[in-house]
Chain A
Amino acid sequence: MNPLMVRNLTVAYHRKPVLQEVSFSVPEGKLIGIIGPNGAGKSTLLKAILRLVPAASGEVLIYGKPYKAQRKLIGYVPQRGSVDWDFPTNALDVVLMGRYGHIGWIKRPGKEDVKLALSCLEKLGMENYAHRQINQLSGGQQQRVFLARALAQDATIYFMDEPFAGVDAATEKAIISLLNELKAQGKTVLVVHHDLHTVQEYFDWVLLLNMRVIGHGPTDEVFTVENLQKTYGGRLTFLDQGKLLVKHE
């Protein structure tokens, strides 16, 4: 069964359409890049799938069932800028938030949860920063804390909103190795991504998006000059890069 199936999803902000009739499904156990120009609705697509923005119409099925029934299967990594990093808390505490869904209401995280959270931090090379204040972390480290939190959710399908945006080399490496580990565990990961240079290197599957779905499928089949032209329209600088990219390969 497909981990994610989206049918005729339409989203509008203030009557302005952002996504129109988006339909696609993704295979299990792949790293999937959601690619498109600024304003193409990439983040909105994730948010609509996760019900963080209301959809005007359409249907989203996670392993064949609606979102509400499958919430426990889903891990979400929001954009780093979506929270105030001056919040009084430390890295470990943020990662523990990933366990809240499992712990249930009112109850406090136990020793097992702390152990698990620490091992998640370790996987991202952040074990030495567990008790560091989150405002004392670099941008890349903050991103890794978010990823560790998603990892702590122990989800089956992950949604990541621009995890590579503005991170340092160490973080980029850590994210890639994490993605590959998740894939090796048979998990499905959807990543909003905007760096065309690295698409072929990182993802086995792509979804090209510009308000509508331009194409989706295995990277080597779909990530073509022609499709990129359609996705990026008149934005020639991007197009040249795309051409170059495909030629190189």
Chain B
Amino acid sequence: MNLFQHLSDANTQWVLAGTLLLGMASGVLGSFAYLKKQSLIGDAMAHAALPGICIAFLLYGQKSLFWFFAGAAFSGLLAAYFIQAIVKNSRIKEDASIALVLSVFFGIGIVLLTYINQNGSGNQSGLNNYIFGQAASLVGNDVKIIAIVAVILLAVTALFFKEFKLLTFDPQFAEGIGLPVRFFNGLLMVLIVSAVMIGLQAVGVILMAAMLITPALSARYWTERMDRMVVIAGGIGALSGVVGTIFSTASEGLPTGPLIILAATLFFLFSMVFAPRRGLLVNIVKQMKMRRQTARENIMLSMFDLMEEEMRKPAARHATGFGEEQIRGLRPVSKRLFARVMKQLIKENLVSSDGNRYALTEQGKEQAYQIALKNRLMEVYKMYEMKFSHEEVEKQEDIFALPEPLLQELTRYLQQLGRMPVRLSKTGPGENRRNRNNIIGQRGADSRYEL
């Protein structure tokens, strides 16, 4: 059978609707679990559901999704209780407590499952599907229950979105303004557990936690708003559910759970690499740019400092160019970066070179002067931060945006401290001394203050 025949099959459509809805619900609720730093709780709940399902089967004697839910929810909540009790009454921390309870419950589940399988009715029970998940085993009734639960979960979350958000971000403050924190915490926990329960048959106990967390993790990459994150996570969950189910039904016998999770993981990987602000690619590019920018400023500054030093010497001994070691010695820049930046600077006609020594061109001197001025203004700004605190300067570039009187004041401080950059103009060194006082003249500032 090909894919299209599959998709036109009524049963497949039911199953698809089911996995779509449960993917959506677990994506939405997983966002809260993730932001509350309770990702592992979902994992524990899912694993701990197995003994509950087995016991429900042993007691009821046949497969019944309703009783399975009840059993799974019961043992899941029991596990949650044990996890908290262990943390509260011993010195064991939460992560160890989760690991302990999860494995014990799962172990009991496997023992019970083996017992059931060896005692006749096991193969008909469909219980084995609960390990890795088999969406194809969902029948109309199962899908109905899953769909109803999923819709309820989504509706309740939408209704109390504001409360859940506050609870997740700042529970103490929530309590402070009178939100019944215990109630909402409990409600959210029940919703998360329910999302896990409806996913068990299709996704399986082992991988259900990934269904909860992976869409949320992926969504976090694309947005900085909680409401959008929840919607995106729901969408990714739904898509993963559908894609995984299609591949599973098309390929006879492959369990659905791993395929759904693989689909979700692909979304996650894509998000991690290509997301616009948090993505790896953007950040690598940004970092490279930044490194280059810093290296460029450092090189310009070092050359400026060296030139400035020369200017203070008698005219006859002025050096005009500087070696690589000399420049890199002032502010460390890697050899490779130095070569690349220098090439660029020469291309922009800011630096001239005879191969060994580098000198600032007239244009370069002007730019280096601006960079030095900016840097040193920032230095004094930081020095007197308390005084200027009403003006916030976040980036060095912003310093020139300060109001003129303030800039003048900063410039005065620079002069008093002898840190005013020397203009490296082409006028002869003899005139330079006079020039020093005119430096800020260009910026329209006051030049009465002597060095």
- Answer whether A88 and B223 are a contact pair too, CB < 8 Å, given A97-B166, A168-B385, A168-B389: yes
**For the complex, is A1 an interface residue (Cβ under 8 Å from B)?**
no
User: Which B residues lie within 8 Å of A87 (CB)?
Assistant: 35, 168-169, 226
- Answer whether A169 and B169 are a contact pair too, CB < 8 Å, given A88-B220, A100-B179: no
Question: Once the chains bind, are B169 and A83 in contact (CB under 8 Å)?
Answer: yes
**For the complex, is A51 an interface residue (Cβ under 8 Å from B)?**
yes
Secondary structure of the B side of the interface? helix
Which of B178, B224, B226 meets A71, CB within 8 Å? B178
A178-195 toward B: CB 8 Å interface, digit per residue (1/0)? 000000000000000000
Interface stretch (choices B155-163, B295-303, B310-318, B440-448): B155-163
Which of B159, B176, B223, B394 meets A50, CB within 8 Å? B176
**For the complex, is A142 an interface residue (Cβ under 8 Å from B)?**
no
**For the complex, is B390 an interface residue (Cβ under 8 Å from A)?**
yes
- Answer whether A101 and B170 are a contact pair too, CB < 8 Å, given A88-B220, A106-B162, A168-B385: no
**For the complex, is A170 an interface residue (Cβ under 8 Å from B)?**
yes
Min distance, Cβ A80 to any Cβ of chain B, angstroms: 11
Question: Once the chains bind, are B386 and A169 in contact (CB under 8 Å)?
Answer: yes
CA distance A169 to B220 in the complex (A): 33
Question: Once the chains bind, are B389 and A100 in contact (CB under 8 Å)?
Answer: no
**For the complex, is A52 an interface residue (Cβ under 8 Å from B)?**
yes
Question: Once the chains bind, are A169 and B173 in contact (CB under 8 Å)?
Answer: no
**For the complex, is B392 an interface residue (Cβ under 8 Å from A)?**
yes
Question: Once the chains bind, are A83 and B176 in contact (CB under 8 Å)?
Answer: no
Min distance, Cβ A230 to any Cβ of chain B, angstroms: 31
**For the complex, is B121 an interface residue (Cβ under 8 Å from A)?**
no
B212-226 toward A: CB 8 Å interface, digit per residue (1/0)? 000000001001111
Question: Once the chains bind, are A170 and B170 in contact (CB under 8 Å)?
Answer: no
CA distance A94 to B224 in the complex (A): 13
Which bucket holds chain B's interface residue count?
A: 20 to 34
Which of A71, A74, A97, A107 meets B169, CB within 8 Å? A97
User: Which B residues lie within 8 Å of A149 (CB)?
Assistant: 173
Which bucket holds chain A's interface residue count?
A: 35 or more
Residue on A nearest B394 in the bound complex, by CB: A138
**For the complex, is B175 an interface residue (Cβ under 8 Å from A)?**
yes
A149-180 toward B: CB 8 Å interface, digit per residue (1/0)? 10001000000000000001110110000000
Min distance, Cβ B410 to any Cβ of chain A, angstroms: 15
Question: Once the chains bind, are B178 and A101 in contact (CB under 8 Å)?
Answer: yes
Min distance, Cβ A1 to any Cβ of chain B, angstroms: 22
Question: Once the chains bind, are A100 and B386 in contact (CB under 8 Å)?
Answer: no
User: Which A residues lie within 8 Å of B37 (CB)?
Assistant: 84
User: Which A residues lie within 8 Å of B220 (CB)?
Assistant: 88
Residue on A nearest B35 in the bound complex, by CB: A87
Which of A74, A84, A88, A173 meets B176, CB within 8 Å? A74
List residues of A (96-126) whose CB comes within 8 Å of B's CBs.
Answer: 97-98, 100-101, 103, 105-109, 125
A44-56 toward B: CB 8 Å interface, digit per residue (1/0)? 0001001110000
User: Which A residues lie within 8 Å of B224 (CB)?
Assistant: 88-90, 133
Question: Once the chains bind, are A106 and B159 in contact (CB under 8 Å)?
Answer: yes
Which of B160, B177, B223, B385 meets A101, CB within 8 Å? B177
**For the complex, is B229 an interface residue (Cβ under 8 Å from A)?**
yes
Residue on B nearest A138 in the bound complex, by CB: B394
Question: Once the chains bind, are A90 and B390 in contact (CB under 8 Å)?
Answer: no
Centre residue among A47, A88, A100, A107 by max chain B CB count within 10 A = A88
Which of B172, B177, B392 meets A100, CB within 8 Å? B177
CA distance A100 to B165 in the complex (A): 11
Residue on B nearest A134 in the bound complex, by CB: B224
**For the complex, is A78 an interface residue (Cβ under 8 Å from B)?**
yes
- Answer whether A169 and B389 are a contact pair too, CB < 8 Å, given A88-B224, A89-B169, A108-B162: yes
Question: Once the chains bind, are B166 and A105 in contact (CB under 8 Å)?
Answer: no
Centre residue among A93, A98, A109, A170 by max chain B CB count within 10 A = A170
11 A-B contact pairs sorted by A residue (CB < 8 Å): A50-B176, A84-B37, A84-B169, A88-B223, A88-B229, A94-B169, A101-B178, A105-B160, A108-B162, A149-B173, A168-B389
Extra A-B contacts (13), CB below 8 Å, given A72-B178, A90-B225, A153-B177: A50-B176, A52-B176, A76-B176, A78-B170, A78-B173, A87-B35, A88-B224, A88-B226, A97-B169, A106-B162, A109-B162, A169-B389, A173-B389
